[in-house]
Amino acid sequence: MAELIKVSASSPTRAVAGAIAGVMRQDGFAEVQAIGAGALNQAVKALTVARGYLRIEDRDIVMVPSFTDVEVEGDIKTAIRLAVYWSPDRTN
């Protein structure tokens, strides 16, 4: 399974996008996790940029969101996990 890419509200968009694209190239699947609106905003922007990086290679991605509970400093928080797959509509 691919490494979980954790995104915060202060994560640099292009750095996260590069990580997503790199994991997709290596593993063919990525998981991105965000807690809070700001982090989710950064994650979605990074997925959009990563999609642009991969489209240059004639590849496309799709994302499936889900909720998950995670422990942060002893507290349970609800995170959004974005599973990223190759698009079935594109030749990979």
* pLDDT of 92 higher than 90: no
The CATH number covering residue 70 comes to 3.30.110.20
* pLDDT of 90 higher than 70: no
Mean pLDDT score of the chain:
94
- Within-domain flag for 92: no
Give the pLDDT of residue 68. Answer: 97
**Structural domain boundaries, residue 65:** 4-86
- Within-domain flag for 72: yes
- Within-domain flag for 17: yes
- Within-domain flag for 79: yes
- Within-domain flag for 91: no
- Within-domain flag for 49: yes
Domain total in the chain: 1
Mean pLDDT, residues 29-43 taken together: 98
- Per-residue confidence at 22, pLDDT binned at 50, 70, 90? very high
Residues 6+ positions from 13 with CB-CB distance below 8 Å: 42, 45, 46, 49
Give the pLDDT of residue 11. Answer: 98
Give the pLDDT of residue 1. Answer: 63
